[in-house]
Structure 1
C-alpha cells in the first residue's frame, strides 16, 4: 500500500497525484492526463517519488490507455537519473516486468508509434543509454573517443552515409571511413535482441541501422578498428545502482 503522504510530486504536493490517478482510472480525461504528466515528469528529465509510486497503476492502465503507456515509458526513460528514489524503483520490479511484456505485444502490432515504444522497452530493460539516443537511422550521429588515440570520432548512420569521421567546425565531417556492419550471426546480447525484434516486426531500416551501430569503425586519425556499440556503451551506460545490480 502506497503511503502517499511521503510521495511528493514535482510541485512538492502529496495529494494531487493520487486524486488524478483516480480520475483517469474512471474516465480517460485529456486534461487530467496532462496535469498528471506535468506532476510526474519535469521537462522529460526529472522524476520524483510520486512518479514511481504511480508506476504500478499506470502499468495496469497501459493495456487500454495509450496515455498511460506513454507516461509509464517516459518515467522509465528518466529512471537512470539522480532522483534519489532507488528503493521505490526497486519495488517496481514486477510492474516493470509486466510493462516489458505489454510493450513487446504492442510492438508486434506494428503501431505508428513503433520507435517510441521500442525506446520505452529499452528503458524497461535498463538499456537507458540506447533509449536516450537511438533514432530511426535517417540522420543518426554518435560521438565517442577512439579507444586507441582518444580523438573524438563522429559515427554517422543515416541517409547521407554510414561512416566514421572527424568533425570539423567549418568543414563538416572530414576524412570519412565507411563502417563495417555486423552480420546477424555476429550480434549478441542487447544488439541481437534489438536486431531480431526489428526484423520480427518488419522494420528493415531500423534493423539495418542496428547492424552498423553494432558493427565496427575505423578511426580516421590512427586507423585503428573498434566496436562502435561497445565503446559507446562503456562511455555512456549509467552506473547500476545497488538495488538494480542485485536484481541481475
Structure 2
C-alpha cells in the first residue's frame, strides 16, 4: 500500500503552484523533487494539484502539469493500479486536457515535435495504453535501439535523413549491415498506429506522421532475417 508523505520543501513547492501562472523555476524544482527524489508512486499524491493546474492554469503551466503528471504515473509501477483507482478523477481531468491540446493542432509544420510527442506519451499513460510510449520521444532523434522479438538480436532502427533501415549497431553507417524498412500504407493502418498517425497529421507533425508509418511497418532482423513490426518489437522489450 502506498503511503504518501511529502517533505516540507515539496509541500512548499506545491503550495506555490498558481492558476494565474507559476515561475518556471518552481516547475524545475518540482521535477527534481517529485520525479528524481521521491518514489514515483508516492509522488503521485501531487496529481490533484497538477490536474487543477492542467484544467485551469495558463497555457505553459497546463503543458508542464500534464507532462509531469504523465511522467509520475508512468513510473508508478508496481502501484499503478492503486494509483489509478485513488486518483481516477484527477487522471480523467488530465486526459481531458491533453486530449484538447492535441486536438487543437500545431501552429506550423513540424513545430515543437518534442512537445507533441510528450503530450502523446502523457495521453497514452493516462489511458493505460502502450507502456512503451515513452520511446516515441526517440523519433525526434530518428534513431531507436530495438531487439528482434524472435531472436532478441540487438539492432538500431534509423528513420531519418540517412534513410530508413535496421542495422547492426555501430558507425559509420556505410560500414554496417542494413535491412531496409518498409513503411505501412497509411490508409491500411489500424488500431494504435492509425490513431497516432491521425494525431500527428492533425498536429501538423509531417515528419512524425511519416516516421510512424515505418514504426508500424515492416522490418527485418539484421542478424537472422526475422520479419517483424518495429512497434511490436518495442512493446516486447522490458
Q: TM-score, normalised by structure 2?
A: 0.78
Counterpart of 1:73 in 2: which secondary structure?
helix
Q: Deviations over 1:212-231 (max 9, x none)?
A: 01111112333232111112
- The match for 1:20 is 13
| 1:26–1:20 Cα change, 3 Å | farther
Aligned length: 224
| Distance (Å, rounded) in 1 between the aligned partners of 2:202 and 2:122 | 18
Q: Does 1:235 align with 2:237?
A: yes
Q: Which structure 1 segments of 5+ residues have no match?
A: 1-5, 237-248
Q: Does 1:100 align with 2:95?
A: yes
Which 4+ runs in 1 deviate beyond 6 A?
169-173
Contact 2:41 2:83 in 1 (8 A): no
| Distance (Å, rounded) in 2 between the aligned partners of 1:32 and 1:220 | 47
| 1:37–1:141 Cα change, 3 Å | closer
| Distance (Å, rounded) in 2 between the aligned partners of 1:23 and 1:96 | 21
| 1:215–1:84 Cα change, 3 Å | closer
Q: Does 1:110 align with 2:101?
A: no
Contact 2:48 2:90 in 1 (8 A): yes
- Cα RMSD for the two superposed structures: 2.9
- The match for 2:157 is 155
Higher helix share: 2
- The match for 1:124 is 126
| 1:215–1:38 Cα change, 3 Å | same
Q: Deviations over 1:95-119 (max 9, x none)?
A: 2222122112212242643333233
| 1:172–1:71 Cα change, 3 Å | farther
Counterpart of 1:163 in 2: which secondary structure?
strand
| 1:171–1:215 Cα change, 3 Å | closer
Contact 1:137 1:158 in 2 (8 A): no
Q: Deviations over 1:131-184 (max 9, x none)?
A: 24433445322321251x442232211221110112247877622111011112
Q: Deviations over 1:42-70 (max 9, x none)?
A: 17x95242x22221221121142323532
Contact 1:41 1:48 in 2 (8 A): no
Q: Which structure 2 segments of 5+ residues have no match?
A: none
- The match for 1:241 is none
Q: Does 1:195 align with 2:197?
A: yes
| Distance (Å, rounded) in 2 between the aligned partners of 1:203 and 1:68 | 21
Q: Does 1:7 align with 2:4?
A: yes
Counterpart of 1:24 in 2: which secondary structure?
coil
| 1:29–1:227 Cα change, 3 Å | closer
- The alpha carbon displacement at 1:187 in A equals 1.9
Counterpart of 2:168 in 1: which secondary structure?
strand
| Distance (Å, rounded) in 2 between the aligned partners of 1:171 and 1:201 | 32
Counterpart of 1:36 in 2: which secondary structure?
helix
The range that moved more, 90-99 or 20-29, is 20-29
Q: TM-score, normalised by structure 1?
A: 0.76
| Distance (Å, rounded) in 1 between the aligned partners of 2:181 and 2:4 | 48
- The match for 2:35 is 41
